[in-house]
Amino acid sequence: MAESRTSSPAAILSQASLVGSVVPNVRLYSDVDPVVILSSATIKQNLLNSSTAWLIQFYSSWCGHCIQYSPTWKALAGDVKDWEQAIRVGVLDCAQENNFDTCKEFGVHFYPTFRYFKARSPTFDVGQTNRGPDRELQTVRQLMVNFLQNHTKQDWPPSCPPLEPSSAEKIFPLIGQKSNQYTAIIVEKDDSYVGREVILDLMMYQGLTVKRALSSDKSVVEKLGISSFPSAYLLHPNGTHAIFHVQKRLRFFFSSFLKLLPGVYRTQSTSGATQQPFLKGPQGPGSSEAWKDFEKSKVYMADLESGLHYLLRVELATHKTLEGEELNTLKDLVSIVAKLFPGRQSVVKLLETLLEWLVSLPLEKIPYDAILDLVNNKMRISGMFLSDQLQWVGCQGSRVGLRGYPCSLWTLFHVLTVQAARRQRDALANTGLENNPKAVLQTMRRYIVNFFGCQECGKHFEEMAAESLPEVNDLDQAVLWLWRKHNQVNGRLAGTMSEDPHFPKTQWPSPDLCPTCHEEQDGIHVWNEDKVLVFLKQHYGTANISPKYLRSSSHLEALATKGVPKPNQEMLGAPDNSKFIQGNTVAPENARLHANPAKQSDIEGAGKADTWAHRDIRPGVSFLGLGFSSLDMSLCVVLYAFSCVFLMFMCFFFRVRSKTWKVRHNRPYV
């Protein structure tokens, strides 16, 4: 049996030490790491009267041990990222010339040196040095908890919740009482850190209070009916209460369960401002888009088709003409989607027709109008249709402008990587990409660079791809690579303004979806990547894609033939149209113009849906962008029919005349 793959910190550490020995001049920490990079100009102003405590590593970029320890320090900072309103993790490079005097002033003689700095310090302080020999991540994290508890009431970080255990006198009055939030009680042994770590993990979340109690408090244990430790007891806002069960009694499982409770949402880490909680119902004033109930264990075809619609009719529309790398990227993208998309036959037929047209057209430049005409099926080919409705289901946001298209694009490429891995050799047959395990990822990379509306997002994705995409050697690795990078992006965007408070950007899959994907080594959460791969292939497989909320393609085709407004180039593609492209941010919900809603019965369990408003299509509109009008095409058809009749008549005429000539000139032999 093959050895199970886990993304352990030890493995990362060994890889980093090899990299450090080969490229010693590379900066150990960068802006993309979850640490605060300090300098002589910023360290004192950050420490003086700080609202948080600090743990700072003074290091030297030429120090071999510092190089080897840097992955552990980054992992620690990422592990306690949600604690930043209580204690922050920073670094200062003493090997930089402008930091020499600062390191001397702080009395740093050896590297790395760890210093703790208390919150609310009104005067200069060189900090408290950690002299312990054990610098493993779990040990340092627990020392951070101890250091926080050493604060007095006067210097306690204002945003840090209480960490001391609650007594029976404080817990019993809460049981059975209605409240406007949840209360979770972690009951643990005296030497356990799980309760305090979960409290700090949830400190940036609203709608929930976390307390801890000790197993030595027999009255609490008996009252709550707890027999094993650590355990968690949950008091609901409606007054009900019970033990909540997790698959594994680990900090990560407790924290993940509580973060996903309905009504629990995250505050923004940058400003401390609170986002509004999710309200189930219409998504904004004047919106006819009703909330659609969905299962988070499912993938929805409505999201995939909506993503394709937005990609082909909106995002490509910002390019009036496609040529060179842009045209090649589009051809490869359509090739991959046409081959791998597990959708309805009408959509697949449209993609295959578009692919055949792109490949057969011997042009170095193609106007976008031509592509749009084909996507809108101006030729009225039967059984070929892609809805022009935005129908977010699993990708719907709690407010307008959240999630939507970026979510559907991630989902689409996850589905494509899984389809390629499942079908192996015949997945991309006859495309020129069949022997390339990175074909889907490379095409995604090129699409994001050339077409994705958020330039900053594209820049970050390109950096990730340049760093590690060459390491992908087979189709299974491609599936896992995209999953890792998606989680990396979630970690970077967690707590920012782009995060939907009802759908926090956590590491996925969560323990409730895949408990076997999560493990713990030396107190650190790690992924079992073999289990993750199995889960991804099941989750994004064809059998798990739900058709719920899909509109009937035959019904939509009928509406189209009756003159229901369709999107045209001016409404969907004008680059200077601020209603659709605002700055560098893709905002699909804001790009909608509400017109005549479809009937309620057209959507299974959904509210009324919007249609795209536009001007009527007039005679003389270019056909496939090649300069032919609909009148021209009608005349061509008439001329073609007349030519066929004329040729048949001439053929018949000459055949009869030939027979007459043979009879007239025939001379029988004697």
Residue 48 has pLDDT above 90, yes or no: yes
Residue 399 has pLDDT above 80, yes or no: yes
The reported pLDDT for the residue numbered 343 is 92
CA distance 491 to 507: 7
Q: Which residues make beta-bridge pairs with 299?
A: 545
Average of pLDDT values for 140-162? Answer: 95
Question: Which of 547, 493, 65 is CA-nearest to residue 269?
Answer: 493
Catalogue the E-assigned strands of 102-245: 113-117, 128-129, 182-188, 205-206, 208-214, 231-235, 241-243
Q: Are 251 and 501 in contact (CB under 8 A)?
A: no
**pLDDT, greater one: 157 or 562:** 157
Is the previous residue joined to 71 through a cis bond, with omega within 30 degrees of 0?
A: no
Residue 286 has pLDDT above 50, yes or no: no
- For 599, the token pair is 């009937």
The reported pLDDT for the residue numbered 607 is 36
Question: Which of 607, 606, 577, 604 is CA-nearest to residue 593?
Answer: 577
Average of pLDDT values for 197-211? Answer: 95
Average of pLDDT values for 197-202? Answer: 96
The burial of 648, by beta-carbon neighbours within 10 Å (0-12 exposed, 13-18 middle, 19 or more buried), is given as exposed
The reported pLDDT for the residue numbered 639 is 82
C-alpha triplet 470, 472, 474: angle, nearest 5°: 140
Secondary structure, 3-state, 355-385: HHHHHHCCCCEEEHHHHHHHHCCCCCCCCCC
Question: Which of 398, 307, 321 is CA-nearest to residue 363?
Answer: 321
Q: Are 505 and 491 in contact (CB under 8 A)?
A: yes
Average of pLDDT values for 47-67? Answer: 94
* Among the ranges given (165-179, 190-204, 432-446, 574-588), the one the predictor scored with the smallest mean pLDDT: 574-588
Q: Are 519 and 527 in contact (CB under 8 A)?
A: yes
**pLDDT, greater one: 603 or 166:** 166
pLDDT confidence bin for 591, thresholds 50/70/90: very low
The reported pLDDT for the residue numbered 664 is 59
Q: What is the pLDDT of residues 508-517, one digit of tens each?
A: 999 999 999 9
Q: List, as one string, the DSSP characters of 470-508.
A: GG--SHHHHHHHHHHHHHHHHHHHTTSTTSBTTB----S
pLDDT confidence bin for 630, thresholds 50/70/90: low
CA distance 66 to 231: 38
Instruction: Note the pTM of the prediction, 2 decimals.
Output: 0.69
The reported pLDDT for the residue numbered 11 is 46
Residue 176 has pLDDT above 80, yes or no: yes
- For 231, the token pair is 């355990």
Q: How many other CB atoms sit within 10 Å of the CB of residue 189? A: 12
pLDDT confidence bin for 621, thresholds 50/70/90: very low
Q: What is the pLDDT of residues 515-539, one digit of tens each?
A: 999 998 877 889 999 999 999 999 9
CA distance 573 to 496: 29
User: Is 636 an active-site residue?
Assistant: no
Q: List, as one string, the DSSP characters of 113-125.
A: EEEEE-TT--S--
User: Is 63 an active-site residue?
Assistant: yes
Q: Are 73 and 91 in contact (CB under 8 A)?
A: yes
Residue 391 has pLDDT above 80, yes or no: yes
Helix axes 137-149, 194-201, angle to 10 degrees: 80
* Among the ranges given (3-17, 378-392, 656-670), the one the predictor scored with the smallest mean pLDDT: 3-17
Is the previous residue joined to 509 through a cis bond, with omega within 30 degrees of 0?
A: yes
**pLDDT, greater one: 101 or 572:** 101
Q: Are 628 and 620 in contact (CB under 8 A)?
A: no
Q: Percent of the chain having pLDDT more than 90?
A: 57
Q: Percent of the chain having pLDDT more than 70?
A: 78
Residue with tokens 């609203």: 206
Residue 187 has pLDDT above 80, yes or no: yes
C-alpha triplet 357, 362, 367: angle, nearest 5°: 70
**Domains identified in the chain and CATH numbers:** 9-149 (3.40.30.10), 168-266 (3.40.30.10), 299-546 (1.20.120.310)
Average of pLDDT values for 259-268? Answer: 85
The reported pLDDT for the residue numbered 570 is 34
**pLDDT, greater one: 599 or 439:** 439
The answer for residues whose C-beta is within 8 angstroms of residue 2's C-beta and 6 or more apart is 530
The reported pLDDT for the residue numbered 655 is 81
Distance of CA 579 to the CA centre of its chain: 24
Task: Give buried/exposed letters for 549-561 (b at 16+ CB in 10 A, else e).
Answer: bbbebeebbebbe
pLDDT confidence bin for 268, thresholds 50/70/90: low
Q: What is the pLDDT of residues 210-245, one digit of tens each?
A: 999 999 999 999 999 999 999 999 999 999 999 998
The reported pLDDT for the residue numbered 604 is 37
Most confident listed range (92-101, 571-580, 659-668): 92-101
The reported pLDDT for the residue numbered 648 is 87
